[in-house]
Amino acid sequence: MKINKIWFEEKWLYGFGDDGKTYRQSLLRYKDLLKAFDTEREEYEISTIGIH
C-alpha cells in the first residue's frame, strides 16, 4: 500500500492510499505536527521510505 495524498483536519492526519482507502491518525502521536502551523504542515514529501 502506498499513500498518495495526505491532509490535516483539526487534530487528525489523513492519508489516501492507492488501495482506495482513507486512513486517519491522531496528531497526538506527532507532537511537532500538532504544534505546527498549516503552512508548515503543507511542506511534506512522500518518498519510498515514508512521509517527511
Residue-wise pLDDT tens digits, 7-51? 999 999 999 999 999 999 999 998 988 999 999 988 888 788 877
Rounded to a whole number, what is the largest CA-CA distance in the chain? 30
**Adjacent-strand bridge partners of 51:** 46
Q: Tell me the residue type at 47.
A: S
The predicted model scores a pTM of 0.81
Instruction: Give the cell for residue 5.
Output: 495524498
Q: Helix (H, G, I), strand (E, B), or coil: what is residue 22?
A: strand
Instruction: Give the cell for residue 28.
Output: 497526538
